[in-house]
Structure 1
Amino acid sequence: MATIRIPPVLRPSVGGEREVTADGDTIEAVLRSLTEAHPETEAQIFGSDGDLNRYVNVYLNDEDVRVLDGLQTAVGAGDSLVILPAMAGGR
């Protein structure tokens, strides 16, 4: 199982948890496992095309998955994922 660190904005969708675990051998499988367990997270993580939402960054062991193999990046049992929604705004 991979550990997924949940950002504050998504915590209400996962019962307030800071970290959850999910099964899967790729980024996509782990994130789909997360969204199956917590359906409210799906629209926040995935876009309508099924790819990562363009405003969400996912890191596998501190490496941006978009510079790896994207959703097909392999995930091991002891790996850690971080979901970071992009922040916008300011003046």
Structure 2
Amino acid sequence: MSVAVRVPTILRTYTKGEADVSVDVADDATLSDVLTALDASYPGIGARVLDDTGEIRRFVNVYVDDDDVRFASGLQTHTPPGSKVSVIPAVAGGC
């Protein structure tokens, strides 16, 4: 099965500038499996998405299709065939 991953601009140095990449995982894959496969194909990107404890970094939002995984099953969120994973860094700022 192939899962599409949307990569934010700040992480595209790991994907040679590609905004959209795909990774192959099993039919019963979870988000954790997708991120493992992503890091295997694009070394270093996993450490930018996951913290030292293996959890999604606090200021990184991850969606499977249109669902925020923090309100689903986190890294155990099922990623069915044809899923689209979006990695979106949080943006903060102000005056």
Classify the TM-score, shorter chain: over 0.9
In structure 1, list runs of 5 or more residues that go unmatched.
none
How many residues in Structure 1 have an aligned counterpart in Structure 2?
91
- Are 2:80 and 1:71 equivalent residues in the alignment? no
Q: Are the equivalent residues in 2 in contact too, given 1:3–1:21 (CA < 8 A)?
A: yes
CA RMSD of aligned residues (A): 1.0
Q: TM-score scaled by structure 1?
A: 0.93
Per the TM alignment, residue 4 of structure 1 is displaced from its structure 2 partner at its CA by 0.4
Q: TM-score scaled by structure 2?
A: 0.90
1:31 to 21, 27, 35: 35
Select the structure that is richer in helix: 1
**Given residue 55 of structure 1, which amino acid in structure 2 is its aligned partner?**
F
Q: Distance in 2 between matches of 1:40 and 1:16?
A: 14
Name segments (4+ residues, structure 1) moved above 4 Å. none
In structure 2, list runs of 5 or more residues that go unmatched.
none
1:46 to 46, 50, 62: 50
